[in-house]
Structure 1
């Protein structure tokens, strides 16, 4: 009988999961991935070794979730429908993100797991009223995806009060890195720029390019998940970002440098609402001991040059 703890990981075969699982194995955990494999890579999962088990199932089925979680001491819940898809098909989004959330949280409470780490999102804030964005700021989620992420945090608080479930909700900012699908809603900007630059064409930027995002590398995201799994503090949402906002104009310059192209961005002069994002990561530092390690320029250049 193995003495290793088993981590139950919904959506563990996805982009973020495939960066987290190797870190869990390094810390001597076993991992039980629960994933419908809609976007997962079976060969990549199989290559992770004997301490990784794959259960090909869907979080919408509560009985399957409950049965599969038996014997697991920790849970990571990452399974979700993307933000773009949630707007195109709100019904599926509510089904997977809301019902799925509840199935996982209720099972974790029933099984008395030590810790549940929930992959939430900075999208719960909507358009921020100030920068950097703090966990106690007003939340204004705008899409079914964002609404479900906020509701997930509220559900976790309910199960903490009702059953003593220990949880940490990680509000991820704009994640990028190797292995990411090009369909992510903000990576389309990166892909559009890179495709034009590689073709010798200048990237086209709407307005003055003042819109910004807090880009955080998936390696740092994965580190935050493992830290949250073992943190002594719990039962709060935590921002996971760099604390630095990168404008679209700055992003274009970084990508031109990465491709080593001789082009200059074209600015499409029109009125653009310049939304900005940057995380206050004070709580992440204090509660998890987390600090980002990969600077945006280096991370972006490494990513593009590796393609």
Structure 2
């Protein structure tokens, strides 16, 4: 039986480079579609040396290129996107890449009759949650062009499901972190800020009382969820991917202080902050994907510091 081929947009980026090795371990061939603006050519070259990975150096904004490159592929993973902070700084580029790119990939997948499309959606589709844990059926209230494009992406998938029978799963990633992440990443900027100060023996500075929280999920567990979503029996649903645990900024500071091994106390900057908390309800991930997280925040953050300091 010939190997199935997975078409993966943004496959040379942070999450993609954690997904591709898992796909190879499972016996898939992989076609990476990436404009290499932020992609890692050296890592892609190493993966290509296996003989089961090829790179199409192109942009999701060009529908003809997407359609041509997807020919012969069995499954699709769509990761390519412009980040949250970039989407606010440049809404035009964000809409172009995230909205037009989404549509080009989904339309091509529907035309080619792929077995399953897995879309990297985001917990940001919920906006500021009214209750915890956050469930897939909660009200959606996306606040930035990035978040809006993720919600619209899910709606577009439903359109192609109805009109052409496209089978999909949208993974609503919570706060992804891990080795290989760019220091400018929106949700990890607080980690980088703390680590920078701790490395020079300075205490981390926390706004307010540090009660604002995030659901930090390790990129290895994110990659596992993508593979599980490609192979799940049930489709056509959004699925939260997080740990189900909200880690406050104050707790994060304590974890990082311990990991770096410095004797400092956090400093609190007394000012008003909009306290927001995030934690995923991951019941559906367990039921639909047979997935749950394997890396605890404290372990993942400690390992990340070891890599940073090494």
When normalised by structure 2's length, the TM-score is 0.98
**1:66-116 C-alpha deviation (Å, 9 max, x unpaired):** 000000000000000011100000000000000000000000000000000
Please give the alpha-carbon distance, in whole angstroms, between the structure 1 residues aligned to 2:167 and 2:184.
33
Equivalences for residues 191-210 of structure 1 within 5 A = 191-210=192-211
Q: Superposition RMSD on alpha carbons, in Å?
A: 0.7
Q: C-alpha separation between the residues in 1 aligned to 2:78 and 2:208?
A: 38
Cα distance in 2, alignment partners of residues 243 and 5 from structure 1: 33
Residue 39 (structure 2) aligns with: 40
The equivalent of 1:126 in structure 2 is 127
Specify every segment of 5 or more residues in structure 2 that has no aligned partner in the other structure, as ranges.
none
Is structure 2 residue 25 aligned with structure 1 residue 26?
yes
Q: CA deviation at 1:123?
A: 0.4
Q: How does 1:132-143 map to 2 (within 5 A)?
A: 132-143=133-144
Matched, 1:258 2:259: yes
Matches for 1:6-17 after TM superposition, within 5 Å: 6-17=5-16
Partner SS for 1:128: coil
- Show structure 1 runs of 4+ deviating over 2 A: none
Hey, what does 1:185 align to over in structure 2? 186
1:187-216 CA deviation, whole Å, 9 max, x = no partner? 111011011111111101011000000000
Query: Whole-Å Cα distance in 2 between the matches of residues 143 and 278 of structure 1?
Result: 20
Quote the offset at 1:306 in angstroms.
1.5
In structure 1, runs of 5+ residues without a counterpart are none
Q: Where does 1:61-76 land on structure 2 (aligned, <5 Å)?
A: 61-76=62-77
Q: Deviations over 1:236-273 (max 9, x none)?
A: 00000000000000000000000000000011111111
Displacement, 1:186? 1.7
1:114-158 CA-partner distances (Å, limit 9, x unpaired) = 000000000000000100000000000000000000000000000
Work out the number of aligned pairs and report it. 306
Tell me what 1:101 maps to: 102
